Amino acid sequence: MINTARGQIIEQAALTEALRAGRIAGAALDVFEEEPADPDDPIFSLPNVICTPHALAWTDELALGNGRSACESVLAVAAGRVPDNVVNGEVLGSPRWQDKLARYAGRTESP
């Protein structure tokens, strides 16, 4: 059993019992039913369980991409442009936002 999605999709007590009884050969988990997981949870004492932190995506490439995206967004706004990847698109129609972009337009060159 491998669960790297959400801890709540597996009933952890039932998984622990199935692993103890040998109905499931092993488990690899990086998420748990309760977060943060109780360090005394019996699942952590089983020899057929591998547990890791839910951090698979935290690679050097991800950190570089996040940093680059943030810097590009700051430069875009400083140049009076709408940045890529705006999460709250409703803000783009706000007069306050549009005024801010108009004030910044042309002040700074950006790639």
pLDDT in tens, 31-70: 999 988 999 999 999 999 999 888 767 889 989 999 999 9
Ramachandran region of residue 106, left (φ > 0), alpha (ψ -120 to 50) or beta?
Answer: left
- What amino acid is encoded at 9 in this protein? I
Q: What is the pTM of this model?
A: 0.53
Enumerate residues 6+ apart whose C-beta is below 8 A from 92.
82, 86, 98
What is the average pLDDT value for the chain, to the nearest integer?
Answer: 91
Q: What is the largest CA-CA distance in the chain?
A: 69
Output the six-digit token pair for 76: 């875009």
Output the six-digit token pair for 36: 């943060």
- Catalytic site residue 68? no
What is the average pLDDT across 1-23?
95
- Catalytic site residue 35? yes
Sheet containing 49-51: order of strands: 2-3, 27-29, 49-51
Half-sphere exposure for 5 (CA within 13 Å, toward CB): 6
- Catalytic site residue 33? no
Q: Could you say which of 6, 20, 23, 68 is catalytic?
A: 6
User: How far is it, in rounded angstroms, from Cα 38 to Cα 45?
Assistant: 12
Give the pLDDT of residue 38: 94
Torsion on CA atoms 12, 18, 20, 22, rounded to nearest 10: -150
Q: Could you say which of 17, 34, 35, 68 is catalytic?
A: 35
